[in-house]
Structure 1
Amino acid sequence: MTSHTTDDAGDAARPRPTRRPRMTPTARREARWAYVFLLPWIVGFLAFTAGPMVASLWLSFTEYDVVNAPRFTGWDNYQRLAADPQVLRSLTNTIYYTLLHVPLTMAISLGLAVLLRRIGRWQGFFRTVFYLPVMTPAVAVGVLFLLLNTQNGLVNRALGLIGVDGPSWATDPDWVLPGIVLMSLWSLGSSVIIYLAALQNVPRDLYEAAELDGAGGWARFRHVTLPMISGALFFTLIVNTIAGLQMFTEVYTMYFGNRQNAGSFNSDAASFYVIRLFQEAFQFLHMGFASAMAWALFLVIALITLVQVRLSRRFVYYEGDS
């Protein structure tokens, strides 16, 4: 009798599995309509993103020139990728550009956002002014950059007014990459707006408490502002890094789309990884090799992003963190 009572008590104490509530007819109808509205995106994703990605992964192990059927070659494309000097040069240029572009964009954008936060009622006007270049087509930006050449460049004319002989930004191989970095700063308005929004969300009482503790301007910026906007800094770090590694349109317009300019210029100085990928695929019809280049870039970006996410745990602060 006692044993039976103990078993009943144990069964009563054991948590019973909760049943999933049944959907009402209205909820089922809403779910069906949700899938109907999502269907165009799902079909588009499968047809134009997931499908081509799977196809390119297969093609990266083949020799394929569009005309003839793909011929399986194993890892040959990846071995060639690691030994091709032109690919390595384009990868070096891309990394060099990214290492300059990302910190400069973040630093200048943060400085402009701090200034915008202090100008009061004119903030809306200047916010629009800084963001307008983002709306400029990338091809137009590439064409405008050609105005920086030595003969007719506006920048060099301005430098000449103060007695400085400016370099040939668009044709001197030693100045092409620094010039492209300067050109990329034209469209930093997105980062400015993101930082401005983050700065406006920093609680004022934190600054007041730091000031009461004797913290100066730099100390408040370092110990209050930067930690509180670290989430925005981390976001722009990832986005700008990915954009830098995929640089294409502006540079291709300047040096590879203009046949006249390309004929008098050593294109290796402006060769970026994605430009080389484009040439291999659509100029030389080496689709298999180009697919291998695309997947190598995908893995590099994924690895860099993973490292950034791992490191972010040390310096990114979120409001919910204790």
Structure 2
Amino acid sequence: MTISRDMLATFLQVVDGLSVSHAADELGVGKSVVSKRVAQLEEALGATLFARSTRRIVLTPAGEVYAAHARRALAELQAGEEEVRALRSEMSGRIRLTAPVSWGQRVLAKRLPCFLKEYPGVEIDLQLADRIMDLAFERIDIALRWSTAPAPEFVCTPVARIDWVLAATPGYLADAGLPTTPQELRQHTCLAYWRESSDEAWMLARAGDPSPPVQVRVSSRYHVDNPEAVVDAALAGLGIALMPSYLCQDALDDGRLRPVLTDWVPHTKFGTLITALTTPDRLRVGRNRALLGYLRQDLERGTAQSQRASASRGT
């Protein structure tokens, strides 16, 4: 039998007055209800909590021990209820949110409507931008960013893992050949999110190998500063692309793109995490905490489903 909050509260009322009648009056229930709840608690514990006589009720040694624990448990339950009520009272107002353009469009924007349905008093202002925004000046509550290092002035919360893949069309690989080592990428046209010449040095580490990554200088005929355009170029058969999996997963699933060098893990300057940055005072606001908790749980579930699908394709 499960021990309920009513059982604990009733037991402690009897303890405080050493009277079933007193407990019934305090709780506003009949004496039979009090007796039933105490009997259910004793049954659940497998112990007698009160020694009863026609004149008085006294605690047994087991009852004395359990009373101390029951008080602490009931106090924790009450504190939790108060925190939840306080959180609910904060579930209104506006959350100003920023995120990278491609990830925001493909991943984040699909999840926010469900959050808004769950919390009808909350509003969200979402700004999608690849530039680094000044949280204080632009009045941003939460910034979701690619992250490779913690920012000491902010509270940093990882919310999503990003896997990077190398892939090309089957047609391109049939014409140009399938690379079997990172060094062979030099013989291919390579595509990546490009901002400066250093972006043409790709870093790859063998999966499970603690050795430092291998650096390969690649070449490209197409430089673009938008990751969606990288995927489009890969789908057009222009070369081998370095892409975040959330942008190309559908094409990998249906065979339009074929992964290459699957035993190697790309290392990029963007890292493998989307991190939420916020200030301590903003994190204390209930609606902001609720959004971060919702995103972490939902994105972790999505990542697990994606990993299961990838494992299924590999069998």
TM range, smaller chain? under 0.3
- Greater fraction of residues in strand: 2
Higher relative contact order (CA 8 A, sep 6+): 1
Larger radius of gyration: 2
TM-score by length of 2: 0.25
Q: TM-score w.r.t. structure 1 length?
A: 0.24
- Which structure carries more helix by proportion? 1
